[in-house]
Amino acid sequence: MSANAATPREHLAHQLAEAVAEALRTDLTRQARALLVVSGGSTPVPFFAALAHQELAWDRVDITLADERWVAEDATDSNARLVREHLLVGKAQQARFIPLTTGHSTPEEGVEEVAGRLEQLTWPASVVILGMGGDGHTASLFPDSRELSLALATDATVVAVRTPSQPQARITLSAERLHHALRHVLHISGDDKRTVLGRAMSGDDVRELPIRAFLSCPLAIYWAP
């Protein structure tokens, strides 16, 4: 346990940061660059803070997102902003960040440019870290996304999604692209999410709880109360 991990969630964040840093170090011994795919939302903030201070060859690491809201990069709900403020600091500021938005006004217009950027990176990713919402969504694969079937089935890299339950248009890595990693992690906290994960594990309908698309990756579950 890290000496400064005050709460179970902070302790978990430190454990995850150590595991992710070790995975990146391992992959960098045999390849020139390594790719880390992170999620947005509130859960990753202490993990980002812990990871940013890990010793590794950050100048050989690429970081991108599992998904993004189609908002300006400085908007308060931008995942890019979250990454810049909490992860691309300290030692990790030498990493290269690849955002999922463009200057286009819609994700449908920007999707091709973003796919082009992502295809330049080193796949499979070293680690894909997923979050999960109370509705069983992960990345921007929401149960009510109009493009859910497409995003679950396509071999395209990214998909523009419109989701009635969400205020913003979004862009998400497709399920296939999210699968394209050496390691998968689900980082969640709280009893509500534990209950949702339990439901997800006891059924098969991916459209009902899209996190099910990743349960057999295999998926390392990092959970704290």
Ligand X SMILES: O=C(O)[C@H](O)[C@@H](O)[C@H](O)[C@H](O)COP(=O)(O)O
Closest to ligand X by CB, 64 or 138: 138
Smallest separation (angstroms) from ligand X to the CB of 86: 13
Question: Which is nearest to 185 in space by CA: 137, 141, 219, 225?
Answer: 219
When binding is defined by CB under 6 A, the residue of 37, 83, 139, 159 that contacts ligand X is 139
Which range, of 38-46, 99-107, 108-116, 151-159, touches ligand X by CB under 6 A? Answer: 38-46
Minimum CB separation of residue 180 from ligand X in Å reads: 18
* Vertex 130 angle, CA 48 and 178, to 5°: 120
Beta strands in 124-214 (DSSP E): 127-130, 158-161, 170-173, 184-189
How many residues are given for the chain? 225
Query: CA-to-CA distance for 182 and 124, rounded, in angstroms?
Result: 6
Q: Is 79 in the site for ligand X (CB under 6 A)?
A: yes
The residues with which 159 forms a beta bridge, in sequence order, are 172
Residue of 126, 138, 157, 174 interacting with ligand X (CB under 6 A): 138
Shortest separation between residue 148's beta carbon and ligand X, angstroms: 13
- Which amino acid type is present at position 23? A
Which part of the chain contacts ligand X (CB under 6 A), choosing from 25-33, 39-47, 94-102, 177-185? 39-47
The number of beta carbons lying within 10 Å of the beta carbon of residue 40 is: 22
Q: Which helix (H) or strand (E) holds 98?
A: strand 96-98
Task: By CB under 6 A, tell whether 39 contacts ligand X.
Answer: yes
Please list, in sequence order, all residues whose beta carbon lies within 8 angstroms of the beta carbon of residue 105, skipping any fewer than 6 positions away: none
- Lay out the site mask for ligand X across 118-137 (x = CB under 6 A, - = otherwise): -------------xxx---x
Chain-centroid distance, C-alpha 5: 23
Choice from 101, 126, 140, 157 touching ligand X (CB under 6 A)? 140
**Residue 41: left (phi > 0), alpha (psi -120 to 50), or beta?**
left
Candidate segments 37-45, 87-95, 120-128, 200-208, binder of ligand X by CB under 6 A: 37-45
Residue 64 is a binding residue for ligand X (CB under 6 A) = no
Using the rule CB under 6 A, which residue among 14, 37, 40, 107 binds ligand X? 40
CA atoms of 206 and 65, how far apart (whole Å): 22
Among 15, 18, 41, 113, binds ligand X (CB under 6 A): 41
**Is residue 151 near ligand X by the rule CB under 6 A?**
no
Is residue 210 within the footprint of ligand X (CB under 6 A)? no
Give residues in contact with ligand X (CB under 6 A): 39-43, 67, 79, 131-133, 137-140
